[in-house]
Amino acid sequence: MPWINGEDCDCCGICVDECPVDKIVMKDEEAEINMDGCIRCGVCHDICPQDAVRHDGEKTTERIDSNVETTKRYMELCAKYLGDEKEKLKCLNRMIKHFTNQKIIAEKTRGILEKLKKEI
Ligand code: SF4
Ligand code: SF4
């Protein structure tokens, strides 16, 4: 999924004009993508003269850090609201199961999508 690095965007508006589904707007002096309506066509990425439109993969580290921080927060909250420090470990195990399930879903989805190539 594309995203726009505001630090590199110079507000030229080219991507706003070229997005085929009109899902990029100028906001607070930088372009912003409405991900709900984006069809992942890649036009904005290819057309930006400032290379401000980036790929999802560039946020991998950030997203991992966010997952870890979220897990730590849930662990603290479980211990606090259930009144027992042992709840931290139970919560941690639940989050590990959650991300394991996410991995299985991603791998199976990828396998099915690879097979779709043969139908095109
Ligand atoms: S084309 Fe690039 S620099 Fe121009 S508004 Fe879009 S993101 Fe910003
Ligand atoms: S990927 Fe395509 S649909 Fe999505 S914001 Fe960019 S130009 Fe618009």
Global pTM exceeds 0.85: no
91 C-beta closer than 6 A to ligand 1: no
Residue range 18-52, pLDDT digits in tens = 999 999 999 988 999 999 999 999 999 999 999 99
Closest CA to 21 of 9, 5, 37: 37
Contact 3, 33 (CB under 8 A): yes
Is the CB of residue 48 less than 8 Å from the CB of residue 13?
no
Residue 76 Cα to ligand 2 midpoint, Å, equals: 39
Tens of pLDDT, residues 48-82: 999 999 998 899 999 999 999 999 999 999 999 99
99 pLDDT exceeds 90?
yes
**How far is Cα 38 from Cα 40, in angstroms, rounded to an integer?**
6
Domains in the chain, CATH or no CATH each: 3-54 (3.30.70.20), 60-119 (no CATH)
* CA atoms of 61 and 67, how far apart (whole Å): 10
Beta bridge partners of 31: 26
Q: Starting from the CA of residue 47, give the closest ligand.
A: 1
> Is residue 91 within 6 Å of ligand 2 at its C-beta?
no
